[in-house]
Structure 1
């Protein structure tokens, strides 16, 4: 087994995109859109040609026609809706173009945050996207990875994640969370759901407890350099520095590193450009000159970004459904079980597709994303969940029908014995209740059967009406809180 050697690499340009999911109430969607527009967020559509070079940094221009042609028509219609009232992914973007100094492990990285997206996805899920770029002539791969690994942590909880600061003008942000929600995405903060306990299929995202953003990076190294497997492995794991500030790689086994890289690498443009995909990041590393990479950088900001965002959304939704299935109280949440069935069915039929791109390279990247995010396994679990929910609903429905049928059968049998005539002569006209104690055995049966039947009818009507009112109250309370 070969020993691992960490090869140094100088980075001349770095473009970083961070994605973070959140949950919001569907009933507040219109109000949220109004707030975003009030705070100078612009609704993104492919028809607005003036937006092609607005959000991505100096001399970077994306081509809307390429976005239009990259995705299959049934996906394109949902990713790029022409109006805000259309069903799909509503993207609101805002130019930031401000410089920040990120300090961690005695190293300061100067970055420019070019823009931020807030994408309102179907079913109350949203995604924040932050686009940043390195604003210095050169930096080591180790320091860049250390910066990305720490910046993506919104709320540091582990000792390794703590100790960073973000300097901006005369302000100091102690966490990325403060920067995002108290500065660049401030209008979003009141709309995010933070409830620990889910209500129905709306709620927070408890399966993202570490609160780390998913990152996508495009790094350009010195054109005289060579790309090695240890560098690609460190990129995939964002291995910068350890807790003592020393350069590190999270493996001591060179064979493992080779296998890992081989399984996750996209090497169509080797040996000068590689893309590697992991659970934490999708990273492209190139040793070509920046002037030769204009199209690649444009694609990184456009088609690759949307491809990643869409599959990231798939992962979130599949995890969300699996989690909420485990939280359902079968005895009490019959209505929510129905909502969960409806949610799964709509997501499957309207938004979840294995094929999303028309291009060969797009299909190759899509396959890597699906494998790394384990989408097929998660989808199989969700399909099993749907089968379980249908089966449980059928069983409960059968039990209710059997109980009702049993009661109705009793009344039918008794009524049949009496020839469908349960009327006693004393009940005609004004009923003399004083005669009831003197009833015969069969008259007592008739009396009890009649009163029980009337009571059962009233109870059924009251239960049905009360259930509808209670369901509406629960929905109102769920959406309100």
Structure 2
């Protein structure tokens, strides 16, 4: 007889969380965006000074710049840690907050701090909003922690199990939704820069190719010292199974064998039985039963090297989905220039940012592999490669068809001109009134007239279409909110 999965309790004594939201912004307004961020108290992150003196992680957590640099291959580090806004890469702006709020849901009241906010201006008009949260250091059950994470990441609460949460600001006493907390309280200036897809309803920055109504959740959880972590607890961390709308503990699987297979695919247990890391499409969580004072290095890596490792692969997923979406939007009868732009877009992304190896350390490589599997990156990249092949094939076929048609007309004109000894002039054309004699032309004179007029018309058409395409291309680039499209 099959056994049902049991839910075991786990007390969490300390937690550090990050919630990451991808946004679309106008890449051509990057300098204005940067100036606005600085005016609002955000500091540009550079690996040399590493935001020294700013408490952005809480609990005296320090991220070492040299360790960040040494954990990434040089060609990756140049993109992840650019020296200035003029360089290609991920431009991070950070602001400490240290504000206290209360999370209210049903009868639950969870006090928490917002430690800092990152706004990262990434390549190709993709930005990331990262909000670092720490629950107040009181013992809390795992189900409540996961329930908090599941609700806090919901920017647009469309499902019943995501509704009902209210954020209370301790300083002003105001009640906010998650959307209001981000876009009206923490970062009200974002609305002026974030793009919004006209086809979609919801918060600012919706992507038509990505399910961005919920943030990606990340956490470092400390349980009681030497407490045992069971399979059901680790599974619930990966799926963010907290509580049902009625407040009961919830797990989204009933089969222990299924849970085992799921963990085999998503669990990193290198440091078991004391620490585990689970990576899924929705969450990236590390849980440990070691005291925080003995995990300072691991916390630093979580806030630093692992954060950037995750960010790169999350960017890969978004970009690969974007390329697939752009490919599906092609109107093959009209979008010849769009096809060329898409080929350039794929090529630049692949050559500048898409790397199979990003980390120099063994644990970094292991996490990279888990991120790639959780985000299905390899399969998405194969699909993009097929897309690129089809685009090149389409371009070659179109170019071949145009060349064949041009050669056909040129051959006709050349043959006819050769028959006439390269002389298509009729004596009547030399007189201002000679054109009146057209009705009396012989067959050969009609052939001469049609050939001459057709040749002139073809030349005018080729010149007009060539300059027209150049003008349309410049207009499209100027109108576009991305440097590629």
1:57 aligns with 2:25: no
Deviation of 1:434 after TM superposition, in Å, equals: 2.3
- Per the alignment, do residues 50 and 94 of structure 1 end up closer, same or farther by CA in structure 2, a change over 3 Å counting? closer
Q: For residues 311 and 140 of structure 2, what CA distance do their matches in structure 1 show?
A: 28
Q: For residues 60 and 449 of structure 2, what CA distance do their matches in structure 1 show?
A: 90
What's the secondary structure of 1:117's corresponding residue?
strand
Q: Contact 2:54 / 2:96 at 8 angstroms: preserved in 1?
A: no
1:297-308 alignment, distance < 5 Å:
297-308=299-310
User: What is aligned with 2:33?
Assistant: 32
Deviation of 1:419 after TM superposition, in Å, equals: 1.0
Q: Contact 2:210 / 2:318 at 8 angstroms: preserved in 1?
A: no
Deviation of 1:174 after TM superposition, in Å, equals: 4.1
1:337-376 alignment, distance < 5 Å:
337-376=339-378
Q: For residues 3 and 289 of structure 1, what CA distance do their matches in structure 2 show?
A: 32
- Per the alignment, do residues 316 and 52 of structure 1 end up closer, same or farther by CA in structure 2, a change over 3 Å counting? farther
User: What is aligned with 1:154?
Assistant: 155
Q: Deviations 1:65-117 (Å, cap 9, x if unpaired)?
A: 11011111110111001111111111111111111111123211111111111
Instruction: Say what the alpha-carbon RMSD is for the aligned residues.
Output: 1.8
1:15-414 alignment, distance < 5 Å:
15-51=16-52, 54-168=55-169, 169-196=171-198, 205-209=207-211, 211-414=213-416
- Per the alignment, do residues 466 and 207 of structure 1 end up closer, same or farther by CA in structure 2, a change over 3 Å counting? closer
Q: For residues 205 and 126 of structure 1, what CA distance do their matches in structure 2 show?
A: 12
Of 263-272 and 373-382, the range deviating more from structure 2: 263-272
Q: Contact 1:7 / 1:228 at 8 angstroms: preserved in 2?
A: yes
What's the secondary structure of 2:480's corresponding residue?
helix
Of 278-287 and 42-51, the range deviating more from structure 2: 42-51
Q: How many pairs align?
A: 477
Q: Contact 1:36 / 1:188 at 8 angstroms: preserved in 2?
A: no
Runs of 5+ unmatched residues, structure 1: none
Q: Contact 2:12 / 2:224 at 8 angstroms: preserved in 1?
A: yes
Deviation of 1:197 after TM superposition, in Å, equals: 5.6
What's the secondary structure of 1:51's corresponding residue?
coil
Q: For residues 51 and 131 of structure 2, what CA distance do their matches in structure 1 show?
A: 20
What's the secondary structure of 1:285's corresponding residue?
strand
- Per the alignment, do residues 209 and 412 of structure 1 end up closer, same or farther by CA in structure 2, a change over 3 Å counting? same
Q: Contact 2:45 / 2:51 at 8 angstroms: preserved in 1?
A: no
Deviation of 1:355 after TM superposition, in Å, equals: 0.8
Q: For residues 183 and 243 of structure 1, what CA distance do their matches in structure 2 show?
A: 27
Q: Deviations 1:114-169 (Å, cap 9, x if unpaired)?
A: 11111111111111111110114211101000000000000101111111111113
Q: For residues 316 and 468 of structure 1, what CA distance do their matches in structure 2 show?
A: 31
Deviation of 1:50 after TM superposition, in Å, equals: 4.5
Q: Deviations 1:277-303 (Å, cap 9, x if unpaired)?
A: 111111000011111111111111101
Q: For residues 73 and 434 of structure 1, what CA distance do their matches in structure 2 show?
A: 77
Runs of 5+ unmatched residues, structure 2: none
Deviation of 1:11 after TM superposition, in Å, equals: 0.6
User: What is aligned with 1:453?
Assistant: 455
User: What is aligned with 2:10?
Assistant: 9
1:406-425 alignment, distance < 5 Å:
406-425=408-427
Q: For residues 33 and 311 of structure 1, what CA distance do their matches in structure 2 show?
A: 24
Deviation of 1:2 after TM superposition, in Å, equals: 3.1
- Per the alignment, do residues 356 and 29 of structure 1 end up closer, same or farther by CA in structure 2, a change over 3 Å counting? same
Question: Normalising by structure 1, what TM-score?
Answer: 0.95
Deviation of 1:395 after TM superposition, in Å, equals: 1.1
